[in-house]
Structure 1
Amino acid sequence: MADAEDRTEAPSQQRLQKARDDGQIVLSREAMSFTVLLSGILGVFTLLPFLIPDFVHSMQGLMANAGTVSMVQGGLLAATEHCIIAGLKLVIPVAGLVTALTLTAGFLQTGFLVHPASLLPKMSRVSPMGGLTRILGGGTLPDTFKALAKLVIFTTVLWHLAKGVIPDARSMTGLTTSAILTKIAHLGLSGAISMALAQLVIAGGDIFWMRFRHTAKLKMSREELKEEYRNTEGDPHVKGRLKALRARRAKQRMMEAVKTATVVVTNPTHYSVALVYEKGASSAPKIVAKGMDDMAARIREAAQDHRVPIVANPPLARALFPLPLDSEIPAEHFKVVAAIIAYVWKLKRPGSRSAPIQ
């Protein structure tokens, strides 16, 4: 394993994917806390105003008939059940909203990753020695600074809120109950929004820090990058040998094709291009072999050995050489190639050699 100071390279996509498969993902707890706080504010100040009247009505009816509740025959049990149901009707919508938004925020952070192995208990998490090692190991130092920063930010926000609440509290003397409740609700909403904005700032910084630390942990050394490349792309030496082997086999197939060629057009020394054409075929003549210098000489030797006519035509050889193998000749060369093939077919002796057509 490479030392930390040797890991100077950004993690590869394969390493990032492996870390994700192992459950190592960026998950900001501060972002989750912000989601819980924001969803709680939405639930309390948007849902509760519609739920509280029914709850108050239920409680008023229960209190009005409290003296008539029978202590026997299940009267007390029915009253208790009525209280529990009324409370659940008040709590469940808010709790459901908080849960739904929190789960959504978590899935958005993790890319909808579910890693069951992360949910299994680990002895290192519950071991006193493991916890002491984590505390003294220096890895908790950034978390300590983060906690102190949160404390400073929230203390500052609460101090400014308190400075504004104290004068308002004095002015509430003599107000009606509904006016006081309205005033308290406004102060509560203002304070909750201020706390949510402060938590948003903290969450933004925490997400940046968590991503930075996650990338730093997955950094790789040059040796690790080379090893990964060898494992995924193959050893460069092996790839070189395979490439050479494929090239050799391609040359062998090309030399085999010379045996069945109709004619070999030459430069006459630098280029050799073998063409094949079947009588009566609707397609144009096709290039089945080509070579330059040494390979051109080998093509000429193979043509001589198998009695394939060789025709010297430097302009045509140079024009056909850049074309890929197994491609048909372009239309602008039809006339010249047709004349050469017609000349070849007129040869009396299959093994005879001829000067190039003028």
Structure 2
Amino acid sequence: MADAEDRTEAPSQQRLQKARDDGQIVLSREAMSFTVLLGGLLGIFALLPFLVPNFVHSMKNLMDNAGTISMVQGGLLSTTQHTITAGLALALSVAGLIMALTLGVGFLQTGFLIHPGSLLPKMSRVSPMGGLKRILGGGTLPDTCKALVKLLIFVAVLWHLAKGIIPDARSMTGLNASAILTTVIRLGLSGATGMILAQLVIAGGDIFWMRFRHTAKLKMSREELKEEYRNTEGDPHVKGKLKAMRAKVARQRMMDAVKTATVIVTNPTHYAVALVYEKGASSAPKVVAKGVDEVAARIRELGQDHRVPIVANPPLARALYPLPLESEIPAEHFKVVAAVIAYVWKLRRPAGNHSPIR
């Protein structure tokens, strides 16, 4: 395993994907805390105004008729059922909104990943020794610094809010109940908004820090990158040898085809293209070998050794050279190639004469 100081390279996509598959994802708890605060504020100031009147009305009726409620045969439950329903609607609506927002932010952070292994209990999480190691380990220092920064931000926000709330609280003396309630709601909304904005700043910084630490934790050394490349793409040296071997086999097969070619068309020294054609065949002549410079010289040499006619036709040689091996010549070259092959057959030397046709 590479030492931490050797891990200077950014993690590869494969390493990032493996970490994700193993449940190692970036999840900011501060972002979740921000969502809880925001959901609570929205629930209190957006949902409760519509639900509280019904609950208050139910409680008022219950208190007004408290002396007449029958305590037998389900009379108490029947009388309080509407109040209980209103209270549950009050609590569950806010809790449901907070839960929905929290789940949404959580899934956005994890990319909708659900890792079953993360849900299983681990003894290291409940072990006193494991907890002590986490507390005393060097990895807790960043978290401690983060907690201190969070505390300082909240203290600064609370101090700023307190300076504005204290004068308003003093001015509430002598006000009627409605005015006091309005002032309290205004001050509560101002304080909650300030705390949520502070938590938003903290969550943004925490997300950045968590992503930075996650990437740093997954950094790789050069040796790890090479090993991963070898495992996924194959050893470059082995691939190079296999490629060279395949090229050698293909070249040998091409040179073997020269020995049975019908004619070799040359430039005369730069290009060499060997064609094969059988009399009476329905298919067009095929390119069985081709080359330039040294390869062309070797083709001509093999042609001479095996009495394959060699015809110098530079325009035709240059036109046929780009064609793939084992491909038939295109129609636009039929006439010229047919003339060359007919010429070769007409002037074919006796079997005992090894001089090539030029």
TM-score of the superposition, structure 2-length normalised? 0.89
Change (3 A) 1:197 1:326: farther
Q: Whole-Å Cα distance in 2 between the matches of residues 166 and 280 of structure 1?
A: 110
**Pairing 1:44-193 to 2, within 5 Å after superposition:** 44-193=44-193
Q: Whole-Å Cα distance in 2 between the matches of residues 313 and 136 of structure 1?
A: 86
1:19/1:25 contact within 8 Å kept = yes
Q: Whole-Å Cα distance in 2 between the matches of residues 65 and 350 of structure 1?
A: 131
| Residues 154-175 of structure 1: per-residue CA shift (max 9 Å, x gap) | 1111111111111112222333
Partner residue, 2:23: 23
Q: Whole-Å Cα distance in 1 between the matches of residues 52 and 281 of structure 2?
A: 91
Matched, 1:228 2:208: no
SS in 2 for 1:311: strand
User: Which one-letter code corresponds to 1:160 in the other structure?
Assistant: H
285-294 vs 220-229, which deviates more? 285-294
138-147 vs 285-294, which deviates more? 285-294
Q: Whole-Å Cα distance in 2 between the matches of residues 278 and 304 of structure 1?
A: 20
1:266/1:311 contact within 8 Å kept = yes
Partner residue, 1:215: 215
**Pairing 1:274-285 to 2, within 5 Å after superposition:** 274-276=274-276, 285=285
User: Which one-letter code corresponds to 1:178 in the other structure?
Assistant: S
SS in 1 for 2:2: coil
Q: CA deviation at 1:20?
A: 0.5
99-108 vs 312-321, which deviates more? 312-321
284-293 vs 135-144, which deviates more? 284-293
Q: CA deviation at 1:99?
A: 0.6
Change (3 A) 1:259 1:20: same
Change (3 A) 1:346 1:155: same
Partner residue, 1:242: 242
Partner residue, 2:10: 10
Change (3 A) 1:156 1:336: same
Q: Whole-Å Cα distance in 2 between the matches of residues 283 and 46 of structure 1?
A: 83
Partner residue, 1:198: 198
Q: Whole-Å Cα distance in 1 between the matches of residues 303 and 60 of structure 2?
A: 110
User: Which one-letter code corresponds to 2:233 in the other structure?
Assistant: E
245-254 vs 337-346, which deviates more? 337-346
1:307/1:350 contact within 8 Å kept = no
Q: CA deviation at 1:338?
A: 4.3
Change (3 A) 1:198 1:277: farther
| Residues 9-37 of structure 1: per-residue CA shift (max 9 Å, x gap) | 11111111111111001111111111111
154-163 vs 277-286, which deviates more? 277-286
**Pairing 1:298-337 to 2, within 5 Å after superposition:** 298-304=298-304, 307-326=307-326, 336-337=336-337
1:55/1:87 contact within 8 Å kept = yes
Partner residue, 2:41: 41
Change (3 A) 1:348 1:290: closer
Q: Whole-Å Cα distance in 2 between the matches of residues 254 and 354 of structure 1?
A: 20
User: Which one-letter code corresponds to 1:101 in the other structure?
Assistant: L
2:308/2:356 contact within 8 Å kept = no
Q: Whole-Å Cα distance in 1 between the matches of residues 286 and 46 of structure 2?
A: 79
SS in 2 for 1:109: helix
User: Which one-letter code corresponds to 2:146 in the other structure?
Assistant: K
User: Which one-letter code corresponds to 1:67 in the other structure?
Assistant: G
Q: CA deviation at 1:277?
A: 5.2
SS in 2 for 1:273: strand
Q: CA deviation at 1:95?
A: 0.9
Q: Whole-Å Cα distance in 2 between the matches of residues 62 and 349 of structure 1?
A: 124
1:309/1:350 contact within 8 Å kept = no
101-110 vs 331-340, which deviates more? 331-340
SS in 2 for 1:125: helix
| Residues 113-147 of structure 1: per-residue CA shift (max 9 Å, x gap) | 11010111111111111111111111111111111
Q: Whole-Å Cα distance in 2 between the matches of residues 192 and 208 of structure 1?
A: 24
Q: Whole-Å Cα distance in 1 between the matches of residues 133 and 51 of structure 2?
A: 49
Q: CA deviation at 1:293?
A: 4.0
1:312/1:355 contact within 8 Å kept = no
Q: Whole-Å Cα distance in 2 between the matches of residues 94 and 128 of structure 1?
A: 36
Partner residue, 1:290: 290
1:308/1:350 contact within 8 Å kept = no
Q: CA deviation at 1:347?
A: 3.6
User: Which one-letter code corresponds to 1:238 in the other structure?
Assistant: V
Q: CA deviation at 1:74?
A: 2.1
| Residues 242-275 of structure 1: per-residue CA shift (max 9 Å, x gap) | 1122112322332344355442112344432113
User: Which one-letter code corresponds to 2:263 in the other structure?
Assistant: V
338-347 vs 94-103, which deviates more? 338-347
The root-mean-square deviation of aligned C-alpha atoms, in Å, is 2.6
Identity rate, percent: 82
Q: Whole-Å Cα distance in 2 between the matches of residues 107 and 350 of structure 1?
A: 86
Q: Whole-Å Cα distance in 2 between the matches of residues 63 and 345 of structure 1?
A: 121
| Residues 67-104 of structure 1: per-residue CA shift (max 9 Å, x gap) | 11112222233345444322111111111111111101
